[in-house]
Structure 1
């Protein structure tokens, strides 16, 4: 377990795992903690246009793995798969915010978001789910849990398997513990990033 680590150290430690130890599972206590953490993710006007499905059932996990292209092996090996979905029913979303958000937030949506096309509104809703991804990956790292975010999925098949109603699968994250033989880990394969001077502008 990583303790008393600076965030920079966590950023250097985490990576996208390619191989997991299938015999090592995340404790139920830690899963419950991750669920509470992701519930607290930030979103524009606190819109919370998301659903997070934690999959531990091996049969369901295998079903999802089969429709995940090159991600099949890591999903089967991982302890859990977390599926990130965005609300895809605008009327349902508007009902949700009317019941849960203050008037000012609802007015912002009506004045600046609702004026767009259905496609533009749904794009805005999906962007909120992507905000939660970085939050979740960082939480995993802080708990010494490895993760693999992935968009290489047959999204409509995911929707069917998970029986999602009013929501649409965007991406998934496999979580668990790295296999010591994973050649992608930083101790074996140093991280490759663009130079700070090329991507950071200070004015």
Structure 2
């Protein structure tokens, strides 16, 4: 299946088949793919937490607003977190990046406020989300990106220090009766000419 067909068939899964689990080899492949995600200046200000434990998923469900069923029933929940300390981020890039990217950071980002730098770091995590959703689709794995989570609750349950959960993604295999799948509910998008401009 080519990428356009994958895009047509991929959708936000609303109901999972809780009896179907993603094989470990494919989970490991997704971990490797996330590790290859793109980011500005190769900054990588992130952490990805894979949760398969039903006990932990149940705890996360309690702090996931209306997404609780998707968290409980999915094979795995992947939590995308961003570094929550500019100081630690700067230590990381000085340790891992060459002079060029560090110079870019020092010139264009470091003069900004901590809140602006943290917003920029969060944008990098969203780049990884798009990469991940596409990877799942290519592997026949269904997914549900969810911003509807209580960040502090997730951090406490997962024992995250210096990282702030931004969103999570449930992954697994759809229930055949999921009403949101394209065969039951056709995709709705704005007209191409409304969103794509050529100059």
The match for 1:8 among 4, 10, 13 is 4
1:78 Cα deviation after fit: 0.3
Matched, 1:86 2:82: yes
The match for 2:36 among 13, 36, 40 is 40
Cα distance in 1 for partners of 2:68, 2:58 equals 8
Structure 1 unaligned regions, length at least 5 = none
- Pairing 1:39-118 to 2, within 5 Å after superposition: 39-118=35-114
Describe the SS at the equivalent of 2:11.
coil
1:53 Cα deviation after fit: 0.2
1:55 Cα deviation after fit: 0.3
Deviation sequence 1:50-95 (CA, Å, 0-9, x none):
0000000110010001110100001111000000000011111111
**1:139 alignment partner in structure 2:** 135
Describe the SS at the equivalent of 2:145.
strand
**1:174 alignment partner in structure 2:** 170
Structure 2 unaligned regions, length at least 5 = none
Length-normalised TM-score, structure 2: 0.99
Deviation sequence 1:78-131 (CA, Å, 0-9, x none):
000000000011111111110100001111111101110010010011100000
- Give every structure 1 segment of 4 or more consecutive aligned residues whose post-TM-superposition deviation is greater than 6 Å: none
**1:149 alignment partner in structure 2:** 145
**1:164 alignment partner in structure 2:** 160
1:9 Cα deviation after fit: 0.4
What RMSD, in angstroms, separates the aligned Cα atoms of the two structures? Answer: 0.5
Describe the SS at the equivalent of 1:174.
strand
Describe the SS at the equivalent of 1:18.
coil
Length-normalised TM-score, structure 1: 0.97
